[in-house]
A and B are shown apart, each in its own frame.
Chain A
Amino acid sequence: MSLLKTNKPSSLVEGIDLDVTPIMNMFVILIPFLVSMAVFTHYSALQFTLPSNAGVEQSGPTKNELRATLTVKNSGLTITLGDSLLAQPTHEMLPESLMSIKKDLKRKNDMVLAIADDIAFEKVVSIMDICKQSGFSSVALSEAYVEQKSKGTL
């Protein structure tokens, strides 16, 4: 009963002004600091390996565990497993081709990219992107076979 008596009428409560100066001060300090520290461009690191046996023919019991090789040349793309040709997709059809060959591979997560000398770094990254998106988490970089030379390794 006594509490009810001490309650202020609603008209008086509406008249109270909050002092927002400290909040504004905090905003004025925090916002320039955060703007200076904000990261608007995000970077990522694409991991790869250097295969010791990329492009080298193998025989015997290890032949079944060959990694698929995607050769990237200006003339086109070729997917091979050892000596056998698996596909010759266009750049647009590469994800579908990779998905379709993946189920028949022993080493389902491994892919060797054999890149020709005149391919730009941008295209290498683009092909690596497609491989990783298609489930080939372990990508190795190698140089493409050139007919004049013996098969090269890094």
Chain B
Amino acid sequence: MAISLLKAKNAGEAGIMKPQLTSLIDVMTILLVFLLKSFSADHAIVNIPQDMELAQSVIQAKIEESYTLSITNTAMVFEGTSVMNTTDIPQGDEKLIQPLFNLLEQKNVTGGTLIIQADKSIAFAQLKKILYTCSKAELKKYSLLVEVKS
């Protein structure tokens, strides 16, 4: 009964069914506003490896364009070029990581900015050797990539 009344109400003079689109347009408009708000053209392109879990932070800071060094539990990658396995980082007192240093020299990064994206479980012992090597290659500015806590 109700359906037949609705059909009669929505039907035009020629008896053609005209669906009510007002509520659908309302939903679409809200969705559009939300998506436009979350859309930002100036976001830096960040490629996070699948096996990497970033540390979380509450600090929000803009990501500047820079060299990227990615360190997972298995691999170290500089600007898309695989450097070595993370497990091959020298143990003990030796601080310089020769393969990384050679690559940085080859890429001529002197005076540049480095952003380090490291897995949250990486030990500082490994990180400090990486930082030491980067400072030897005369990189000047350093940042850690983190995920902003929502």
Contact = CB atoms under 8 A, between A and B. Distances in A.
Given A45-B145, A47-B143, A129 B59 contact: yes
B8 interface: no
Given A34-B39, A35-B35, A154-B135, A45 B115 contact: yes
How large, as a class, is the contact surface on chain B? 35 or more
Contacts of A116: 124
A116 B32 CA distance: 49
A3 interface: no
Interface residues of A, number: 42
Given A39-B39, A121-B118, A154 B32 contact: no
Contacts of A50: 131, 135, 142
Given A48-B144, A120-B123, 14 more contacts: A23-B25, A43-B147, A44-B59, A47-B143, A117-B123, A119-B123, A121-B120, A121-B121, A121-B122, A125-B120, A128-B59, A154-B128, A154-B131, A154-B132
Interface of B: 12, 18, 21, 24-25, 28, 31-32, 35-36, 38-40, 43-44, 46, 54-64, 93, 115, 118-125, 127-128, 131-132, 135, 141-148, 150
Interface of A: 17, 20, 23-24, 27, 30-31, 34-35, 37-50, 115-122, 124-126, 128-129, 132-133, 141, 143, 149, 154
22 contacts: A20-B25, A24-B21, A34-B32, A34-B36, A35-B35, A42-B60, A43-B63, A45-B64, A45-B145, A46-B61, A46-B143, A116-B124, A117-B128, A120-B124, A121-B127, A122-B55, A125-B55, A125-B146, A141-B131, A143-B124, A154-B128, A154-B135
